[in-house]
């Protein structure tokens, strides 16, 4: 998903008050484009070159456009959720145009509003909360002839491996090595190879990606700092 295509979608979404139909994988493709651009930045020997700067500026533009698209669509979805919770008319076709994650957000917000209305406006009782000690001990409740019976949940074996909610096939985030430096002179704001924006002034002591620090050190803009080892 290139910047021009994403920008066109944003402009269309901005010009209309209704939620538009967009590709279900638009955000996935945008993230893939950002990753591809950053990969090109990492491959450039001089991360402060004009080529690297152009790629970084394109990356920033795509991120900002993606965030604005999300913001505009979220405001529309929140408005629909409020109308739904208040029982007012709203276009059901707009709900059909939501992405799966957006539809889940709509359901959660609408459900939360309806529950809050019941408590505050209709004097509905709040759901009972299990006894605190029971929650802390991790027990289950079962109904036995109208009485609540608590039974202990068996503890996991000590040698059992913890279950992770993240798929084992998920790749770890790409994190470049960092270097502690002292800034020797003021410099323009720039984006590091880690995707962060840096605004540095003379006298600052910061950690920078090693590639950026190396280039700035060669230009006598920063100097590396070596911390004494603890014995």
Q: How much is the pLDDT for 5?
A: 87
Give the pLDDT band of residue 176 (cuts 50, 70, 90): low
- Number of other CB atoms surrounding residue 41 within 10 Å: 23
SS3 113: helix
- Number of other CB atoms surrounding residue 194 within 10 Å: 18
Helix (H) or strand (E) holding 139: strand 139-144
For the cut 60, the answer to whether the pLDDT of residue 133 exceeds it is: no
3-state helix, strand, coil in the chain (%, to 5): 45, 15, 40
Q: How much is the pLDDT for 128?
A: 47
DSSP code per residue over 3-49:
HHHHHHHHHHHHH-SSPPP--TTHHHHHHHHHHHHHHHHHH-S-TTS
Q: Are 85 and 113 in contact (CB under 8 A)?
A: yes
pTM of the model: 0.61
Q: How much is the pLDDT for 148?
A: 42
Mean pLDDT for the stretch of residues 179-204: 85
SS3 153: coil
Q: Which domains does the chain have, with CATH numbers?
A: 3-120 (1.20.58.1030), 178-224 (3.40.5)
For 33-70, the pLDDT digits (tens) are 999 998 898 888 887 788 888 888 888 889 999 999 99
The better pLDDT of the pair 161, 204 is held by 204
């Amino acid at each position: 998903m290139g910047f021009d295509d994403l920008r066109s979608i944003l402009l269309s979404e901005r010009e209309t008050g209704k939620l538009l139909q967009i590709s279900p994988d638009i955000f996935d493709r945008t993230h893939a484009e950002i990753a591809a651009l950053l990969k090109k930045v990492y491959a450039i020997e001089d991360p402060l070159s004009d080529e690297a700067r152009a790629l970084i500026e394109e990356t920033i533009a795509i991120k900002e456009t993606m965030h604005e698209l999300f913001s505009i669509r979220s405001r529309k979805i929140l408005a629909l959720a409020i109308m739904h919770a208040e029982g007012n008319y709203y276009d059901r076709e707009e709900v059909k145009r939501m992405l799966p994650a957006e539809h889940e957000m709509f359901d959660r917000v609408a459900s939360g509003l309806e529950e809050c209305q019941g408590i505050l406006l209709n004097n509905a009782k709040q759901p009972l909360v299990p006894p605190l000690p029971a929650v802390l001990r991790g027990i289950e409740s079962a109904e036995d002839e109208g009485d609540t019976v608590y039974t202990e949940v068996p503890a996991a074996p000590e040698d059992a491996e913890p279950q992770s909610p993240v798929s084992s096939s998920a790749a770890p985030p790409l994190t470049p090595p960092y270097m502690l430096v002292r800034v020797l002179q003021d410099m323009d704001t720039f984006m590091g190879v880690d995707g962060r924006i840096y605004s540095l002034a003379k006298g600052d002591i910061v950690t920078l990606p090693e590639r950026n620090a190396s280039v700035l050190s060669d230009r006598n803009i920063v100097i590396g700092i070596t911390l004494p080892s603890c014995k």
